């Protein structure tokens, strides 16, 4: 019997799932905490929980990971050099340490507007080659003619041998700077992705698994590891893509809305006729606007492990995540006794970090540089959980609240606290870990909130439910002002929102929120079996998808009185070709687009016999019935 292995290294949990390759049935699944910054330890623990004998029959393994997203958000990528060619500029609010802008570029017809000034490029390359790990190149209108990018790429390779990424290789969209940003971020990720995939490959081989290794992209498609290593930027948001595919696979719905309640966040997206809905804009990661095609989604920073804290008798949830008390108590049972020991916290001292149910401990990450205040606080901490009074009052001095924030942001400190997951343990609706720890935490926190513990937990659950409802409604009612949607959600009306497709819920505790969501929406709401490991299943449910465009554009004579085309130019990814007639150009466009789709499927190790190619066409003509001045062919290839 043949099996498939899906691995999802998410923001909070790492899931591993074993599927029967013939019928898609889930045979085994296991969860582990994601280990940051080295994800391989969490993956190893997740794999350890599967039947090791069955792993030898795995023939396909697919990975989705938060590595690229976290690296960009935290600015921890390897240094890279950015070379921009032509009419653009590098904004001063973007931290790009090694960059240069030079003369060159083309126009919209692919004709050179200014010769490439190669000398300063070579001087820049030699100057920074020992300071960077890769280079990125983006030229003005390189999507119409990439020759300047390719010339610079050749120079980089000859002078350094380092990896070099061209903007036209990652995106066909116009926007030289945004393509440059995409290439720059991609260059930063290459060394990290190589290290990560080498570790994953080594871990798989160690278990005698001889499988084809694939990675999930952020548009919901699956690619070979070779392709993924060249373009790691395409794996940003692969986690939400995996949840979308997993929900569709588990529920059997090819069209559905999906709500994934993770530990760190809640994501909403839509599957339409078997394919993820893709955003017209490129993916935005932190402050970076990229040209990466990703699924359209709505994200909220409230998840099952969001920190529940009290200020002025009001309940606040998130935006930061903590390790739930019920989970932490399994490894550190002493926190239950510490919770019961009363802490003298004054009302004017209370904040997100100064809470009677919050604990702090070192993460294990070695600090690089710390300010004196950060070092002082870091030195007070240990590898076991300390409560607030252990850190502050025992030292009889209070550091700046921002100091602890900085240590948490740098991932030097891990935090433990009360969460919506703890609240569900108290309510008896999700009891996977230490119920007693959740009860003790709720009693302590409820005294600060001025209410009974069951009321506190019920209110936490309702806040999470209404937040999920708001995100789902905002996603489906895309053009409606969010404030108006919030009025609909928070108001008491004799009406609800009609959703014209099933809503599928994913995540460990989502069953607890199902009935509450039914009060807001008139829809079929489904929690499929194995919803707690849907992301790992989604990594295996992916198809091979290739989207590309080929443009046929008339080249007009220069006389403004004669608009008759003198030739037709076909622009396609990586090249251009000129023809004397429209029919020849169109025929070439159809052929080259199909060839590029099939080449991609072949390089991704997919079955070519099952590839389907859909072509849509959009013409622009001066008059109806005349030969188009421009034809845009959009190709969508789908393979198994």
428 and 327 share one domain: yes
Q: Does residue 527 sit within a domain?
A: no
Q: What mean pLDDT, rounded, does the chain reach?
A: 87
How many domains would you assign to the chain? Answer: 4
Q: Are 426 and 442 in contact (CB under 8 A)?
A: yes
Q: Does residue 290 sit within a domain?
A: yes
Is residue 75 predicted with pLDDT exceeding 80?
A: no
391 and 316 share one domain: yes
Strands (E), 373-454: 386-387, 413-417
329 and 452 share one domain: yes
Tell me what pLDDT residue 546 has. Answer: 86
Is residue 126 predicted with pLDDT exceeding 70?
A: yes
Q: Does residue 229 sit within a domain?
A: yes
Looking at 457, 480, 496, the residue that finishes a domain is 457
434 and 352 share one domain: yes
Tell me what pLDDT residue 400 has. Answer: 65
Q: What are phi and psi of 507, to 5 degrees?
A: 125, 155
Q: Does residue 509 sit within a domain?
A: no
Read off the CATH number of the domain in which 43 is found: 3.30.420.40
Give the span between the Cα atoms of 345 and 339, in whole angstroms: 13
Q: Which residue has the higher pLDDT, 492 or 149?
A: 149
Q: Does residue 268 sit within a domain?
A: yes
Is residue 373 predicted with pLDDT exceeding 80?
A: yes
Span 164-178, pLDDT tens digits: 999 998 888 888 888
Looking at 540, 565, 592, the residue that finishes a domain is 540
158 and 237 share one domain: no
Q: Does residue 490 sit within a domain?
A: no
Tell me what pLDDT residue 114 has. Answer: 92
Give the span between the Cα atoms of 549 and 456, in whole angstroms: 54
**Rounded mean pLDDT, 500-527:** 91
**Rounded mean pLDDT, 10-28:** 84
Is residue 524 predicted with pLDDT exceeding 90?
A: yes
**Rounded mean pLDDT, 619-635:** 88
* β-pair partners for 387: 359
452 and 563 share one domain: no
What is the number of alpha carbons within 13 Å of residue 521 lying toward its C-beta? 29
Structure tokens at 460: 């936490």
Q: pLDDT-derived band of residue 343, with 50, 70 and 90 as boundaries?
A: low
Tell me what pLDDT residue 285 has. Answer: 76
451 and 326 share one domain: yes
186 and 203 share one domain: no
Query: Which helix H or strand E contains 17, and what residues bound it?
Result: strand 13-20
| Structural domain harbouring 630 | 544-639
| First-last CA distance in the chain | 19
pTM strictly above 0.95: no
The string of DSSP letters for 305-333 reads TEEEEEETTEEEEEEEE-EEHHHHHHH-T
185 and 198 share one domain: no
Q: Does residue 480 sit within a domain?
A: no
The dihedral region occupied by 471, where left means phi > 0, alpha psi between -120 and 50, and beta the remainder, is alpha
Q: Does residue 217 sit within a domain?
A: yes
The string of DSSP letters for 79-112 reads PEEEEEESS----TTS--SEEEEES--B-TTS-B
Looking at 192, 216, 234, the residue that finishes a domain is 192
| CA 595 to each of CA 147, 368, 374, 442, 577: distance values in angstroms, whole numbers, following the listed order | 21, 49, 57, 61, 15
Is residue 471 predicted with pLDDT exceeding 60?
A: yes
**Residue pointed to by tokens 């001292």:** 349
Q: Are 4 and 18 in contact (CB under 8 A)?
A: yes
Give the span between the Cα atoms of 139 and 150, in whole angstroms: 10
276 and 350 share one domain: no
Structure tokens at 396: 């009889």
Query: Which helix H or strand E contains 416, and what residues bound it?
Result: strand 413-417
Q: Which residue has the higher pLDDT, 285 or 445?
A: 445
Tell me what pLDDT residue 353 has. Answer: 82
Give the span between the Cα atoms of 37 and 632, in whole angstroms: 44
Tell me what pLDDT residue 425 has. Answer: 96
Span 322-334, pLDDT tens digits: 999 999 999 999 9
Is residue 494 predicted with pLDDT exceeding 80?
A: no
Is residue 488 predicted with pLDDT exceeding 90?
A: no
201 and 186 share one domain: no
Q: pLDDT-derived band of residue 512, with 50, 70 and 90 as boundaries?
A: very high
Percent of the chain with pLDDT over 70: 95
Is residue 398 predicted with pLDDT exceeding 70?
A: no
Tell me what pLDDT residue 309 has. Answer: 92
Closest of 195, 160, 166 to residue 76, by C-alpha: 195
Q: pLDDT-derived band of residue 321, with 50, 70 and 90 as boundaries?
A: confident
316 and 452 share one domain: yes
């Amino acid at each position: 019997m043949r099996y498939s292995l899906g691995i999802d290294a998410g923001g909070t949990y790492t899931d591993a799932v074993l599927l029967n390759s013939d019928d898609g049935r889930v045979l085994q699944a296991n969860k582990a905490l994601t280990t940051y910054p080295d994800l391989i330890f969490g993956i190893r623990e997740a794999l350890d929980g599967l039947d090791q004998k069955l792993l030898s029959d795995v023939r396909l393994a697919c990975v989705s990971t938060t590595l690229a997203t976290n690296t960009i958000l935290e600015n921890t990528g390897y240094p890279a050099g950015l070379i921009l060619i032509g009419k653009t500029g590098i904004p001063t609010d973007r931290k790009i340490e090694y960059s240069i802008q030079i003369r060159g570029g083309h126009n919209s017809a692919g004709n050179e507007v200014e010769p490439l000034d190669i000398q300063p490029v070579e001087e820049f390359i030699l100057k920074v080659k020992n300071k960077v790990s890769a280079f990125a190149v983006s030229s003005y209108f390189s999507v119409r003619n990439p020759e300047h990018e390719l010339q610079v790429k050749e120079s980089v390779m000859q002078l350094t041998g380092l990896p070099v990424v061209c903007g036209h290789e990652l995106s066909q969209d116009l926007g030289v700077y945004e393509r440059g940003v995409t290439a720059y971020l991609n260059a930063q990720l290459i060394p990290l992705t190589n290290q990560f995939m080498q570790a994953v490959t080594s871990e798989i081989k160690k278990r005698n698994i001889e499988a084809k290794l694939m990675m999930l992209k952020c548009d919901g498609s699956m690619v070979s590891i070779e392709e993924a290593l060249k373009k790691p930027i395409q794996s940003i948001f692969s986690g939400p893509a995996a949840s979308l595919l997993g929900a569709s696979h588990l529920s059997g719905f090819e069209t559905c809305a999906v709500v994934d309640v993770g530990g760190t966040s809640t994501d909403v997206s839509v599957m339409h006729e078997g394919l993820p809905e893709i955003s017209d804009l490129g993916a935005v990661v932190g402050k970076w606007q990229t040209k990466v095609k990703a699924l359209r989604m709505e994200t909220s920073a409230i998840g099952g492990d969001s920190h529940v804290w009290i200020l002025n008798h009001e309940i606040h949830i998130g935006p930061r995540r903590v390790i739930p008390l019920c989970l932490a108590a399994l490894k550190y049972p002493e926190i239950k006794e510490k919770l019961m020991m009363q802490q003298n916290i004054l009302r004017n001292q209370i904040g997100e970090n100064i809470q009677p149910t919050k604990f702090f401990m070192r993460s294990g990450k070695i600090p690089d540089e710390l300010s004196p205040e950060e070092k002082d606080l870091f030195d007070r901490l240990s590898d076991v959980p300390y409560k607030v009074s252990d850190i502050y009052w025992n030292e009889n001095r209070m550091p700046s609240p921002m100091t602890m924030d900085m240590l948490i942001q740098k991932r030097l400190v891990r935090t433990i606290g009360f969460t919506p997951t703890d609240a569900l343990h108290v309510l008896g609706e999700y009891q996977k870990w230490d119920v007693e720890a959740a009860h003790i935490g709720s009693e302590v926190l409820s005294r600060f909130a001025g209410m009974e513990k069951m009321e506190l937990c019920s209110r936490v659950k309702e806040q999470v439910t209404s937040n999920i409802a708001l995100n789902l409604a905002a996603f489906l009612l895309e053009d409606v002002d969010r404030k108006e949607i919030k009025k609909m959600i928070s108001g008491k009306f004799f009406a609800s929102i009609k959703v014209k497709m099933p809503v599928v819920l994913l995540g460990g505790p989502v069953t607890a929120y199902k009935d509450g969501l039914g009060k807001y929406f008139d829809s079929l709401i489904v929690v499929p079996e194995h919803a707690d490991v849907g992301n790992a299943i989604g990594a295996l449910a992916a198809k091979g998808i290739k989207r590309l465009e080929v443009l046929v554009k008339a080249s007009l004579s220069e006389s403004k009185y004669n608009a008759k085309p003198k030739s037709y130019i076909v622009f396609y990814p990586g090249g251009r070709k000129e023809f004397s007639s429209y029919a020849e150009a169109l025929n070439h466009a159809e052929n080259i687009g199909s060839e590029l789709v099939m080449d991609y499927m072949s390089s991704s190790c997919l079955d070519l016999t099952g590839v389907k190619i859909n072509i849509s066409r959009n013409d622009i003509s001066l008059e109806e019935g005349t030969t188009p001045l421009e034809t845009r062919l959009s190709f969508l290839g789908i393979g198994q």
